[in-house]
A and B are shown apart, each in its own frame.
Chain A
């Protein structure tokens, strides 16, 4: 019988700690599929965030480093600068990347740091029990916005890909989602492109993945997927915001 689907080799065969219906598992798998297809597990170093995916170092079978909250792009910079021939990626949530780690994110991008950033946006702080994130939508109820996020008091959510697309050092800024099969296929292509950019030394590549948090949204997994489609995508449109070589003069070197 032909094998049509199997667990990627670089995805450790152990139980995940994520809640039922959480899409982290899908995103982990996509990253691992790309690592397997490119045959780079032995040359890859991943950097984990603080947040729900804090223990991702157990799931990826490449070498892994656990960073402090928000600091993954700086840690990845230290790894990549001293190991320029290795593949380096960070895996970060929205609080980690777009709140406490904003400076590290923006400056890694502006330096054109040749790394891949997988940015999981689920509009909430999942690990700590569902507080307002920098990406929480206007009106969204969280533990710390019990009456809904009021932009007059709490500001507007940040669109990370659009912001980073303005920087010369950014090679790829693409937003994808994992709430349907076509979206998942598109997400994998984007992740593959990001790793290929790193191979080709094109600069900073970020793939923002719209994700769900049924537990903290107080929804069934199915309803959560529907919310992603109906509420998140209108505010966070899918697509490619930048696709370029940040260092064109280096081509052919």
Chain B
């Protein structure tokens, strides 16, 4: 298969087209603007709609409109822009619509910075808008994995009628790596619920998130949570690296997991039994894998490009049965392998033995 050297953002965009995405609505923001630029060019050839919206708010609502008619729709942004989209994301979830949203995270809060960050973990997994709902959240760690994730995100979003997010960061978006695009068979999905004109052949379809009767609204939310329970059971993913005999296990996702893997390798060279658990899905969180991968560990170290957000889920996953330490850099600073190695050595030496 052909290998291309591509920037992460552009690879994401190309992968979306190959996954059957028919439209993209976006608004410029660093460090993800290449997605828009690439699609503006490529959709013309590939046959699809690119539209630059007047705001992030408009862009996500255009996605809502397109998704309502049953087509695969996507938007992307970076942290401050995702905050603006949160209203629309809540409506999309409440209307049971599938779509894909990309967040190429940058430092925050506020305008923050434009360097890589993972400080939107809580937002993506706990509170991307008002109300009881979840998004599927994927955290790829390479350009190739981003490509592979796009199709999966669209497929699962369609299957479960819910929004999916690819939580990348400025590092993954901006770096270039060789990628191959798998032969994609965009699964044709029946969408009998779509509001695309009934053609006088069926009753009218209504796409809606308003339920004024509390018991009816409660039922619609509970139905959604039944689907969430199935997803938790079937679709949580993680990579376990050298965890079988590991006494110190690092947990990290996305770009940070690559740095952490280097640190684990360095530790192994020094005879330290270190391992890595890399969540690939952040929601659903890979609870089983977290327990499996840390079964022989006396200490876990959660490493993030934030002040510590995923660490809450790591502690919950293992029911706080072992100490979970934290090391993080934030504001756009990327942790160095040597810094993580230092942490591994600190705890391997018996800090928590």
User: Contact residues of A with B, CB < 8 Å?
Assistant: 41-45, 47, 54-55, 57-58, 60-68, 71, 74-83, 86, 103-104, 106-107
Contact = CB atoms under 8 A, between A and B. Distances in A.
Given A42-B201, A68-B91, A55 B210 contact: yes
Contact of A61 (B22, B67, B195, B204): B204
A74 B198 contact: no
B53 A45 contact: no
B195 A54 contact: no
Given A64-B206, A78-B73, A45 B87 contact: no
A67 B61 contact: yes
Given A74-B62, A81-B62, A45 B196 contact: yes
28 contacts: A41-B198, A42-B201, A43-B197, A45-B69, A45-B195, A60-B204, A63-B196, A63-B205, A64-B195, A64-B204, A65-B64, A65-B208, A66-B208, A67-B91, A68-B87, A68-B88, A75-B65, A78-B62, A78-B63, A78-B69, A79-B195, A81-B51, A81-B66, A83-B69, A83-B197, A103-B58, A104-B57, A107-B53
Given A65-B208, A66-B207, A71-B64, 15 more contacts: A42-B199, A57-B206, A63-B204, A64-B207, A65-B68, A66-B210, A74-B57, A74-B61, A75-B62, A75-B68, A77-B51, A78-B66, A79-B195, A82-B66, A86-B196
B54 interface: yes
B296 interface: no
Nearest to B62: A78
Interface string B62-82: 111111110101000000000
A198 to B, nearest CB: 13
B33 interface: no
Contacts, number: 131
A61 to B, nearest CB: 5
B206 A86 contact: no
A163 to B, nearest CB: 16
A86 B205 CA distance: 15
Nearest to B209: A66
Contacts of A68: 61, 87-88, 91
B25 interface: yes
Name the prevailing secondary structure of the A interface residues. Answer: helix
B183 to A, nearest CB: 25
Contacts of A63: 195-198, 204-206
Nearest to A85: B197
Interface of B: 22-23, 25, 49, 51, 53-55, 57-59, 61-69, 71, 73, 87-88, 91, 95, 195-201, 204-210
Nearest to A77: B62
A103 B66 contact: no
Contacts of A66: 95, 206-210
Given A71-B57, A76-B65, A42 B73 contact: no
Contacts of A41: 198, 200
Nearest to A54: B210
A75 B61 contact: yes
A76 B68 CA distance: 10
A104 B69 contact: no
B64 A75 contact: yes
A191 B210 CA distance: 28
B55 A103 contact: yes
Most buried by B among A63, A76, A78: A78
Contacts of B63: 78
A82 B58 contact: no
Contact of A47 (B49, B65, B66): B65
A42 B195 contact: no
A117 to B, nearest CB: 14
Nearest to A50: B210
Nearest to B65: A78
Nearest to A107: B54
B279 to A, nearest CB: 32
A82 B23 CA distance: 7
Contacts of A60: 204
Contacts of A57: 206, 208
B23 A81 contact: yes
A63 B62 CA distance: 17
A103 B62 CA distance: 13
Contacts of B55: 103
Nearest to B49: A81
Nearest to A63: B195
Nearest to A78: B65
Contacts of B88: 68, 71
Given A63-B205, A78-B73, A82-B66, A71 B196 contact: no
Nearest to B195: A63
Nearest to A48: B208
Contacts of B71: 82
